[in-house]
Amino acid sequence: MLAAAELSWSDPAEPATDEGLVKRVLAGDETAFECLYSRYFNRIYHYLEKRLRNPADTEETAQEVFFNVFSSIDSYRGEAPFVAWVFGLTRRTLARRFKKKRYPTVPLGEDEMEGVDLLLSSIRREPDPLEAYEATERLARMAAAVTNELSSEQWNLFRLHHLQNRPIQEIARDLDKSVDAVKSNLYRARKVLLAR
């Protein structure tokens, strides 16, 4: 039913793109939000289902995600694809949910730690085929973005800070740049790569 509503709207000046629907939501059009909901619900639900593994928690969290999308849609600036913004909200909602479900812990004794270390070293979870495919696709998109969209300076700064864990002040000093210039280039590089 919602898909039909999405297809029936046809304003030649503004097609039913995510950005167009966001504009309509901001203008008070409830059917536009229903279109976004129907467009992303299954993807969000399956993403949450893989992580929560409990149908009731998955349903509740999915509804919380869409509540958060609706209540903060005015903060969407269009700097990244809408789907990336929605999944960012989804990850933050899920993280908050995990923080809420903290259970009391009891520290292990020295003799128990050896068994835990042995157990952890023997457990190696392989990604399922979908996770492996998604990771491969994302890496390919990021590699293409590094090659086609980042300057060599931006890539070098990103590599130094995020892959070699060097502090921004140290990078600025070594490359004879201001801290603000390094931060600005890192921001641009992250913006490009996170949109992938």
CATH architecture assignment, domain 133-194? Orthogonal Bundle (1.10)
Q: What is the SS3 assignment for 15?
A: coil
Confidence at residue 63, expressed as pLDDT on a 0 to 100 scale: 92
pLDDT by residue for the chain (196 residues), tens digit each? 344 444 444 444 445 899 889 999 999 888 999 999 999 999 999 999 998 888 888 999 999 999 999 989 999 888 889 999 999 999 999 888 877 665 556 665 655 555 556 566 556 667 777 777 788 888 888 888 888 888 889 889 888 888 888 898 999 999 999 988 888 888 888 888 777 6
How wide is the angle at C-alpha 41 spanned by C-alphas 38 and 42, nearest 5°? 110
Question: Exposed (0-12), middle (13-18) or buried (19+): which is 154, by Cβ within 10 Å?
Answer: buried
Looking from the CA of 19 toward its CB, the CA atoms found within 13 Å total 7
Stated as kind and residue range, the H or E segment containing 102 is none
pTM for the predicted model, two decimal places: 0.45
Tell me whether domains 2-100 and 133-194 share a fold.
no
Domain-wise residue ranges, the chain? 2-100, 133-194
Confidence at residue 66, expressed as pLDDT on a 0 to 100 scale: 92
> Could you tell me the two tokens for 38?
């129907």
CATH architecture assignment, domain 2-100? Orthogonal Bundle (1.10)
